[in-house]
Amino acid sequence: MFRKGTRLDPTQVGDRRGMGGGGIAAAGGGMGIIILLVGLLLGVDVSSVVPTDGGGSATNPNSTIENCQTGEDANQSEDCRIVGFVNSIQTYWDQTFGRAGASYPEAQTILFSGATNTGCGAATSQVGPFYCPPDQKVYIDLDFFRELQSRFGAEGGPFAQAYVLAHEYGHHVQNLTGVLDRIGNDRDGPQSAAVRAELQADCYAGLWAGNAVETGFIEAVTEQDISEALSAAAAVGDDRIQQSSTGRVNPESWTHGSSEQRQSWFLRGFRGNGPGDCDTFTGNI
């Protein structure tokens, strides 16, 4: 998957696994956790749900992330594969911003286990992967990828991981371009700004996938890779999650979009030419 001669930049990934962290800093006890799980699974802006505490910058002194140096490492180790995907995704956005005459500020991905402090407050792995606008970091417990298969029924595979990461970096791009500011309180319903932002992030993930080879890190994107990404996108559709958890589907409470919508917008990006093909804020979605 990764080109053997490519050089990785492990500084784009921080490692806090095994270091512990604070509990959920949200009112309502168990209900607060449920709200976070529904709102943050591949989510948007958690700062309105969890109070900002400034986050933390500590890293695990026993981490081996720094040993991820080459494409060969990325092909042999999950940790290094995450580094490789993050490097490729950010290279794509750096190139894209550069063509528009703008600079792209990198966002670090933080690996954690159990719980960690963030610029959006304390969070546990129960919230799923998320992007935190105040500190401009992506947070993920890698156990989520196993849960994506066991709990949500995704196909799994390396490109399912790539899709999740590329989606979260889509939110970073939205933060940089002011899109997240457009959501406001319009957070529920099939045509809500929240759903539109999520589908745009899916489209941005597809844009990266369609241009991953050009970033210099990925050797090829195969039909199997796209199948894995589409399976992950479908697994976290609001309708799929609602059906499996409650036995009924209520579009008026959607925050991320249906499985079909998430797959469709990923493919639109994959087949597209640039961010202009990912306008989810015009017309019906």
* Residue 61 confidence class, pLDDT cut points 50, 70, 90: confident
pLDDT at 211: 98
- 285 in a structural domain: no
Q: Cα–Cα distance between 78 and 128 in angstroms, integer?
A: 18
Q: How many H-runs (helices) and E-runs (strands) does the chain carry?
A: 9, 6
Inter-CA distances, 170 with 133, 205, 228, Å: 12, 6, 18
pLDDT value of position 150: 87
Of 23-27, 72-76, 179-183, the least confident: 23-27
Place of tokens 């992967």: 129
2 φ/ψ angles, rounded to the nearest 5 degrees:
-95, 145
- Residue 20 placed within a domain: yes
Whether residue 5 lies inside any domain: the answer is no
What are the C-alpha distances in Å from 273 to residues 152, 160, 179, 217, 221?
A: 31, 22, 20, 20, 16
**Residue 25's closest CA among 112, 114, 116, 108?**
116
Flag whether 3 is in a domain.
Answer: no
Match 């195969």 to its residue by tokens: 222
Q: Average pLDDT over the chain, rounded to whole? A: 88
Query: 8: Cβ–Cβ under 8 A, 6 or more apart, which residues?
Result: 68, 69, 70, 71, 73, 74, 80, 83, 84, 87, 217
In a domain, 93, yes or no: yes
Whether residue 111 is contained in a domain is answered as yes
Q: Enter the tokens of residue 68.
A: 């991820």
Quote the CA–CA distance of 17 and 36 in Å, as a whole number: 21
Q: Looking at the 3D structure of the chain, how many domains does it have?
A: 1
Mean pLDDT, rounded, for 170-176: 98
pLDDT at 21: 60
- pLDDT (0 to 100) of residue 62: 77
Are 199 and 280 in contact by the 8 Å Cβ rule? The answer is yes
pLDDT above 90 covers a percentage of the chain that reads 79
Q: What is the separation, in whole angstroms, between the first and last Cα of the chain? A: 33
Model confidence pLDDT, tens digit, residues 111-155: 999 999 999 999 999 899 999 999 999 999 999 999 888 888 899
Structural domain containing residue 269: 10-278
- Determine, yes or no, domain membership for 283: no
Strand 121-124 with 108-111, pairing: unpaired
Kindly state the DSSP code that residue 42 receives in the 8-state scheme: T
